Amino acid sequence: MMFEETTPDQTEEIKVSFGYHCNGLTSDSSHIQNESRRNLGSFHCLSGAALSANATLANTSICNGFIGAEILPNWDSPKSFRRIPSSPSFSKLDLLSSSLQSNISILSCSPSSASEPSDHDSFLKSTSCVEVEVAGGAAGEDRVQAVCSEENGWLFCAIYDGFNGRDAADFLAGTFYETLSFNLSFLDWELKQDSESLSDNNNKKKKKSLFMDRVLDSLQRALGQAENDFLYMVKQEMEDRPDLVSIGSCVLVALLHGKDLYILNLGDSRAVLATYTDETTLGGENRKLNAIQLTDSHTVDNEAERNRLLRDHPDDPETIVGGKVKGKLKVTRAFGVGYLKKRKMNNALIGILKVQNLVNPPYVSTDPSVNVHNISDSDHFVILGSDGLFDFFSNDEVVKLVDSYMLGNPFGDPATFLLEELVARAADSAGFSMEELMSIPPGRRRKYHDDVTVIVVILGPHKRTTKASTRL
């Protein structure tokens, strides 16, 4: 099933656009044989889109051009999902850090039994491997990814909102999915250790809780490993490229496994859930669609974050200067930005770029916020967006926009629609027509809006298929 074409001429600047719609069973004989097997997933379709405002280099040169030459061509702005092997060789990643190993078990392996698996079998039992569907792209300094395995009931989505350059976001786009896969490969061993402390009388709910905790631990470990790998590489390169120490990225990852939605965020990107609640009115009982933010905002504008930062640096009266961390960043947690974490990296900078009086680093944290939400029948869709989206719309507004659009376009592209609405609002705020705003080249257009990346995941039951539909 195809997404309907809804993009007007002015959105030709939306370089990233992809959609995936679950279609039900295919005619493939192997699927017919397994028709009785229940699909584990709980999403119906998704769309992604990104709009560039920043002018960036065509390719990164980090690690002697390895990421630009070897990884990014696999991700840059495809307009469709494509199939890739679930267990590629990762030997090239040894160039990035010794902590990454080849022959990593990836999380897309099929259960060894055709019977209905338990909550974690589709991650762990891997006698045979299948292929996954992948899409992604680059817009300005933003990077976006989506990886889907309908047959095994999971979906991985990520938005990497880079700043001060694209290298950190490029690194994440090229490595984080595999790094997470590596960390998830330890789940089997960890759960066996947990089971030794549980008797047969322990209820299923407690075992489920332990499993969810372990997945959240894997997400945090993967981010920590990625951070160490990136900063190690920056250290090797900073003599030739001192700018690398100031480059960073926000991170937003959603992993939907069955009915469990795992969220990791670092920075100011957001995940917003649209869910129905019953509401009693004079005319009777109605269902109201509410917006629930699933992520924390890691900025100095968040009172809790600001107080935490000041509490962690009591001897530094210049922890926050001009509403920014050390006068440099709005975000209080981020990937990379080594100059706000390590004195040696700060010393690689000169002049006004260097942070003065780096009293007690680190000033920017790499500790993410993580949580898990159990998808219910009341949950309608999830919107993942970089902060550029929320510069113009509140949580309630983006939910209402997507809902109204989907009512009239059930197989349409809500992510691109949101960007069209954003362009219209940005143009109106600047006193331009949409055509005039979009004619301003990236770089200069940053004055009017940020890079913006959006993924919309429509929730709901569906039948199993390995066919991907595309919006071209």
Among 121-125, 149-153, 310-314, where is mean pLDDT lowest? 121-125
R_g of the chain computed on alpha carbons: 22
> What is the architecture, at CATH level 2, of domain 9-293+370-459?
4-Layer Sandwich (3.60)
Q: What is the rounded average pLDDT of the residues 153-181?
A: 91
Mean pLDDT value of segment 78-85 = 70
Least confident of 33-37, 130-134, 141-145, 160-164: 33-37
- Which residue from 295, 258, 305, 1 is spatially nearest to 153, judged by alpha carbons? 258
Q: Quick: pLDDT tens for 206-239.
A: 777 888 898 999 999 999 999 999 999 999 989 9
Q: Is 12's pLDDT higher than 90?
A: no
Max mean pLDDT range (22-31, 113-122, 274-283): 274-283
pLDDT of residue 410: 85
* C-beta separation of 158 from 252 below 8 A: yes
- Per-residue CA distances from 310 to 207, 214, 326, 458 (Å): 39, 31, 11, 40
**What is the predicted pLDDT for the residue at 370?**
97
Instruction: Using a pLDDT cut of 70, give the percent of the chain over it.
Output: 71
Question: How sure is the predictor about 333, in pLDDT bands with cuts at 50, 70 and 90?
Answer: very high
Q: Is the pLDDT of residue 243 over 70?
A: yes
Reading the block at residue 61, the tokens are 């040169």
For the chain, the average pLDDT equals: 78
Percent of the chain at pLDDT > 90 equals 50
How far is Cα 49 from Cα 249, in angstroms, rounded to an integer? 18
**Strand pairing report for 248-257 and 260-266:** antiparallel
Tens of pLDDT, residue by residue over 342-370, are: 999 999 999 888 998 999 999 999 999 99
Least confident of 119-123, 328-332, 452-456: 119-123
What gap in Å lies between CA 363 and CA 319, rounded to an integer?
8
CA distance 81 to 22: 12
- Between 468 and 386, the higher pLDDT residue: 386
Q: Is the separation of the CB atoms in 63 and 69 below 8 Å?
A: no
What pLDDT is attached to residue 54? 83
- Predicted pLDDT at 85: 65
- Give pLDDT tens digits for 274-330: 999 876 555 556 778 999 999 999 999 999 999 999 999 999 999 999 999 999 999
What does the alpha-carbon distance between residue 387 and residue 379 come to, in Å, rounded to a whole number?
A: 23
Residue among 122, 174, 133, 161 at smallest CA distance from 45:
133
pLDDT at 455: 97
Give the helix, strand, coil percentages of the chain, each rounded to 5.
35, 25, 40
When mean pLDDT is compared across 30-34, 386-390, 456-460, the lowest value belongs to: 30-34
DSSP, collapsed to helix, strand or coil, labels residue 259 as coil
pLDDT, position 423: 94
Single pTM value for the model = 0.83
- Residue 108 pLDDT > 50, yes or no? no
Confidence check: pLDDT of 7 > 80: no
Helices within 275-333 (DSSP H only)? 303-312
What are the structural domain ranges in the chain? 9-293+370-459, 303-332+334-353
How many Cα atoms occupy the beta-carbon half-sphere of 213 within 13 Å? 9
pLDDT at 82 over 70: yes
Of 205, 9, 34, the C-alpha closest to 114 is 34
State which H helix or E strand residue 179 sits in: helix 167-184
Q: Which residue has the higher pLDDT, 28 or 155?
A: 155
* More reliable by pLDDT, 347 or 411: 347
